[in-house]
Amino acid sequence: MTTPKSLPPRPSLESLRKQAKKFARDIAAGDDGAIARARVELPNVDLPLTQRNAQLVIAREYGYAGWQDLTAEVSKRLGKGLEWAATQARRVIHDNDVERLKQLLAEYPALLSWQGNDWDSKGGLLGIATGAYGDAGDPERERWFTRAACAELLIDAGAVVPPSVCEGLIESRAKGLLQLFHRKGLLPRTLQFFAALGELNAARHALDQGGHDLATVNDAFICACRLGHEAVASLLLERSIALDPELGKQVDGSVGRVAFVKYFIETRVAHATTGVGPWKAFVMEQVSRAAHDGDGTAFVSTLQRERWLLSDAYV
């Protein structure tokens, strides 16, 4: 049995990659010594070697089962073990490889509190598992964009749950993950999340307790509409109108309250997240659609009726 080579105290991953590339080239050139080395580690492999198999031979010559194990050791020796593990975890979450993720968590418990700098990894591995690159508002799209099994494993293992992760579930409309987080007791007991879950009684009770300003109620209304919860949205619209009677006049003087709620749910009003309030969000969506559809009459009449659209803040 061949004695394994020894890695230097501070090995170079780039140097190891170059070794593997040179090894593959030597075999392709018919180098007898290189071919003999390959046969020791991979007796039945077809020649010439692929780059992956060349890396596997190099790893085994250093006494490691595979290239991944070798690169993990290099990262550890260079003080980059956790970052390496996080990179691996990102990949296995993308692949929905729950068993490999479980192994990484066992080997690197610090992954449970790790946070990166990218938009999704700022929420740690849980942010990677739950962050959606697109709208996840139906079960199929939620499966495409999120990794529920990995998320549940991370939760059960004790992963840190930043507020941004919970808020991201509302933004992406990931209903399945919202229910998972709800079952695990991870969602804040706030009006916003009662609205997102469609919990009518809880939302009503929260409103009865008082202490919610107009902005909070409006935000909850948007959440209910975003997730398609008409009954909760209607309840919240009534409270918004109680706090802002002018909103009631505007809604009642246009499409009416029932149609107003349905419009928000069906169109998922694009401007609703800008903090402008339900009425302005509604009007901005209408004028945008009129412009998109080339409906000049509706476009001009809306601008004439809602003069604030021509102010510097909205032009």
- pLDDT value at residue 129: 95
For residues 216 and 191, what is the distance between their CA atoms, to the nearest angstrom? Answer: 8
Sequence-ordered list of residues with C-beta below 8 angstroms from that of 43, at least 6 positions apart, any chain? none
Burial of 29 (0-12, 13-18, 19+ CB in 10 A): exposed
For residues 86 and 93, what is the distance between their CA atoms, to the nearest angstrom? Answer: 10
- pLDDT value at residue 193: 97
- pLDDT value at residue 231: 98
- pLDDT value at residue 7: 86
Question: By the 8 A CB rule, do 248 and 295 touch?
Answer: no
For residues 130 and 150, what is the distance between their CA atoms, to the nearest angstrom? Answer: 9
Quote the pTM value.
0.73
Alpha-carbon 31 to chain mean position: 49
Residue 238 tokens, joined: 């009534």
- Assign 3-state DSSP to the chain and report helix, strand, coil percentages, each to 5: 70, 0, 30
Q: What is the pLDDT of residues 136-173, one digit of tens each?
A: 888 999 999 999 999 999 999 999 999 999 999 999 99
Phi, psi at 180, each rounded to 5°: -60, -50
- pLDDT value at residue 273: 62
Name the residue among 291, 289, 290, 271 with its Cα closest to residue 281.
271
For residues 202 and 194, what is the distance between their CA atoms, to the nearest angstrom? Answer: 6
DSSP-derived letter for residue 174 is -
For residues 291 and 61, what is the distance between their CA atoms, to the nearest angstrom? Answer: 66
Give the CA distances from residue 66 to residues 27, 56, 79, 188, in Å, rounded to whole numbers and listed in that order. Answer: 20, 5, 20, 44
Q: Which residues of the chain are under the pLDDT cut of 50?
A: none
- pLDDT value at residue 130: 94
For residues 182 and 169, what is the distance between their CA atoms, to the nearest angstrom? Answer: 11
